[in-house]
Amino acid sequence: MEYTAEVRIELKSGVLDAEGETVGKSLKLLGFPVKGVKSVKVYDIVIDAVSEEDAKKKAENAAKKLLANPVIQNYFIHVKKI
């Protein structure tokens, strides 16, 4: 069966989000009443798995092995059946 796994990768709190800061400053300069911006990377993965738990486990392994840097990033996974 096929599942989509949304892997959401955020910087850990305390790690400087240079992209978010820059976007926030630019939006303020353009006149938007912005209090803060956080930049997030998302990968939508279509994955073969026998169950939702299996798909989640595989996506977690993928995040650990390739997608996220555990020193500075947290990841959150959301699995849906297609």
Contacts with a second copy by CB under 8 A lie at 2, 8, 20, 23-24, 26-27, 30, 32-49, 58, 61-62, 65-67
- Determine the 3-state secondary structure of 33 from DSSP: coil
Half-sphere exposure of 39 (CA within 13 A, CB side): 10
Q: Least distance in Å: CB of 81 to a second copy? A: 14
Q: Least distance in Å: CB of 56 to a second copy? A: 13
Nearer to a second copy, 67 or 72 (CB): 67
Nearer to a second copy, 61 or 72 (CB): 61
Q: Least distance in Å: CB of 71 to a second copy? A: 19
Q: Which residues of 12-49 are buried (b: 16+ CB within 10 A; e: fewer)?
A: eeeeebeeeeeebeeeeeeeeeeeebeeeeebebebeb
